[in-house]
Structure 1
Amino acid sequence: MMPPLPPKFAPEGGGAKKQRGRSRDFTPLPWTDFFDKKQELNIGSDKFNVYLKGSSGPVFYLLHGGGYSGLTWACMSEELTTRIECRIVAPDLRGHGDTKTDGDNDLSTDRQVQDIASIYTHLFPQDPPPTFVVGHSMGGALAVHVTNRQLIPHLIAVGVIDVVEGSAMDALHGMTNFLRGRPSHFESVEAAIEWCVKTGTVRNVRAARVSMPAQVQPSTAPPGSVLNDMVEEREGEEEEASSTPAAASTVCEWRIDLLQSEQYWTGWFKGLSQLFLGVPAPKLLILAGVDRLDKDLTVGQMQGKFQMIVLPKVGHAVHEDSPDRLADAITTFCVRNKFCEAIGDYHPVYPGC
């Protein structure tokens, strides 16, 4: 679901605390609660879906990880725009979300870098605004590639969230088993959201309610075979009563089969540390754990080539688990580098690392 690092938590309970005596709400939240506009861009024969927010200030170009969509940034965008005057651009990348690419799910680095540059050019054909490119996981790797190649005009900074070459490459060996171990189908979108929270994949229920629906779609398999698969997946497991029962007609499956992208994984991450250090702009690396810093980045960090911030008590989906703390970190970085000013009475807190 999210190369390069699987969730740290076991499927029962995970990072989400149980609330006994009352059920939580797993109904989907609409994108309109978080973004101003949803725009479809016609680029060649492809149609890229992009979520937009704000009308002035620098642009934050947000690139999601493998399996996610632009809606993974919903809560963080909401928080960030209350701290600084800015604009948000959050596309669904090729093969993800509501983007349609004629069945071409070429997720190679070169193909996606070209897509990312083309989306930006179509949105800002003239006088490109100051732009801060931020990416998570696969999107973090792509952010490095596209900025290292200097394909984003007026780049002011690049931010990478929880992806480091060394640990990413190591994690790829276990990613296939992780993806095969996930449920292949859910009884409903609500059930998918519940799974997302209870496994600790996302610890923030509100974030899961807006981002998870874009990761699944109505099943394309015959109803009988889907139900048989679901029964087999449940064998040997203790089933906890769902707070959101659904009819079999609402069975859904993953929108993208990430196992089919395995051939591209190494290309996303190999050589990433040196490419990151070579980006000709201020750099921010945000991690969920210091153990993920490899040798090249350790040396680079000691030499002051980038700023590193560690956010404890979050999982791999840092921006969903703690959108407020991530927004604080980005705001502080931007104010410190004089990219923008904080709004109103908001006062950035400068971290110690």
Structure 2
Amino acid sequence: MSDLQRAFAKAKLSSYPATMPPTIPPFIEADEEEEETGHFDIESAELPHDDDSSSASSASSASSTGTIIPSQNQKLFARPQGSPNKRTMDQIPWTTYFERELFLPSPSADTTITHHVYLTSPIGPSAPLFITHHGAGSSGLSFAALTSELRKRLPNAGILSLDARGHGSTTISPSQETEILDLSLETLSSDLLTVIERTKLQMGWETMPPLILIGHSLGGAVVTDVAKSGKLGNSLLGYAVLDVVEGSAIDALQSMQTYLSTRPAGFPSLESGIEWHIRSRTIRNSMSARTSVPALLKHDSEIRSSRSWTWRTDLAATQPFWEGWFIGLSKKFLEARGGKLLLLAGTDRLDKELTIGQMQGKYALQVFPEAGHFIHEDLPEKTAVVIVDFYKRNDRSALVLPPKVSDMLRAGKKV
């Protein structure tokens, strides 16, 4: 406090009667330094301990106010309690993405396989039906996030996503646990054709809608084999293969057992299984992981350890079929009828045959270097944009054919 201010205060106090107590509180000497310096010591204020940049920014702003001294109990700089931005690992149900699920029994001489599929029906006779086939160890829900993005751009389109045998909710009775499950390419291709035909019958479709086949990894080999067979006839507009080519796939098989040995044998909870897929960057999209991962795991109540959630599909047991899935894939991909689309996570995956075919313009190629192996889960929006554009380029319903010569002559027009 300056001498002039102190003299003014004493003169003011002396004017009050001696019997009247002063109503102006006494000045605190500590205020003298604060008024002279124009700021207060921020270190004396009670601040929560935090190392992030937002806390540093708050402290810097507070130190420049100069005229406000926070009391010890106000905690003006304390952050709200709780962690609203914490990532949740809760499961997202399949009903978020699909209209219904179907169970399609297919009896044979010794067993009955009940194919499980997720379906959203096409609306209108010319609306396309996208049929998806997942990779080894995955399930039909692998395409759930992509389904949502496709429907945003093509609201009338339908999506049929199946669980292959030994995967998801597809079952075989009587159980074949003691035998090696037949997952040969021939069997899986036959299953896909059966699912398509039985879905048509169960839904009462008079004709097959225009079809686009989409397959990821092993599923890419299956849809290519089905396209090459020609058994879908003119209904098939084209097929898309996601992140698999013959050369790199066969090379990768050499390290497959090593990968499986490093993968956790189980998880203590469903949420921890989802978290592992995200943390390991196996799936880089948390929304997709929360939808697809639950179908990959099953709870075994007989396991007394802390890892009672185990893998639904024993990938190591499928080893006898690995090479058969991919041998000859590139040749079939280039020779099958219909539009062709290849989506990769890196150009290094192209083998010689596909490189030559791409230079000759035999198929469309799109590369997403920022994605992992599960392109459709990591980048569902970008994948949908490419697939919708691919469909539109191959859509025959938009074609306007020229009139026949005979019709023009009958109408008296010159040809």
TM-score over 0.5 (shorter chain) = yes
Q: Indicate if the aligned counterparts of 2:237 and 2:394 stay in contact, CA closer than 8 A.
A: no
Alignment of 1:154-303 (within 5 A): 154-219=235-300, 221-223=302-304, 226-227=305-306, 251-303=308-360
- Secondary structure at the aligned position of 2:263 is classed as coil
Aligned residues: 298
Runs of 4+ in 1 over 4 A off after TM superposition: none
Counterpart-to-counterpart distance in 2, 1:252 and 1:327: 32
Q: Indicate if the aligned counterparts of 2:241 and 2:341 stay in contact, CA closer than 8 A.
A: yes
2:388 corresponds to 1:331: yes
2:131 corresponds to? 61
- Correspondence for 1:41 among 85, 99, 104: 104
2:233 corresponds to 1:147: no
- Secondary structure at the aligned position of 1:304 is classed as coil
- Correspondence for 2:158 among 83, 87, 97: 87
Counterpart-to-counterpart distance in 2, 1:156 and 1:333: 10
- Secondary structure at the aligned position of 2:372 is classed as coil
Q: Indicate if the aligned counterparts of 2:212 and 2:391 stay in contact, CA closer than 8 A.
A: no
1:10 corresponds to? none
Measured on the aligned residues, the alpha-carbon RMSD in Å equals: 1.6
- Secondary structure at the aligned position of 2:114 is classed as strand
Q: Percent identity?
A: 39
1:267 shift after superposition: 0.4
1:338 shift after superposition: 3.2
1:82 shift after superposition: 1.0
Q: Indicate if the aligned counterparts of 1:334 and 1:340 stay in contact, CA closer than 8 A.
A: no
Q: 303-312 or 196-205, which moves further after superposition? A: 303-312
- Secondary structure at the aligned position of 2:167 is classed as coil
Partner amino acid, structure 2, of 1:87: G
- Secondary structure at the aligned position of 1:265 is classed as helix
- TM-score between both structures, scaled by the size of structure 2: 0.70
1:106 shift after superposition: 1.1
1:23 shift after superposition: 2.8
1:312 shift after superposition: 2.4
2:118 corresponds to? 51
Counterpart-to-counterpart distance in 2, 1:185 and 1:42: 30
2:214 corresponds to? 134
Q: Indicate if the aligned counterparts of 2:238 and 2:394 stay in contact, CA closer than 8 A.
A: no
Partner amino acid, structure 2, of 1:309: Q
1:76 corresponds to? 146
2:197 corresponds to? 121
1:152 shift after superposition: 2.3
1:340 shift after superposition: 6.9
1:128 shift after superposition: 1.4
1:54 shift after superposition: 3.5
Counterpart-to-counterpart distance in 2, 1:172 and 1:259: 11
The higher relative CO (CA closer than 8 Å, separation ≥ 6) is in 1
1:270 shift after superposition: 0.5
- Secondary structure at the aligned position of 2:172 is classed as coil
Counterpart-to-counterpart distance in 1, 2:193 and 2:382: 29
- TM-score between both structures, scaled by the size of structure 1: 0.81
Structure 1 residues not aligned, in runs of 5+: 1-19, 231-250, 342-353
- Secondary structure at the aligned position of 1:91 is classed as strand
- Larger-Rg structure: 2
**CA deviation profile, 1:276-319 (whole Å, cap 9, x unmatched):** 01111110001110110000000111111111111120000000
Counterpart-to-counterpart distance in 2, 1:270 and 1:259: 19
Counterpart-to-counterpart distance in 2, 1:87 and 1:340: 16
- Correspondence for 2:86 among 1, 23, 29: 23
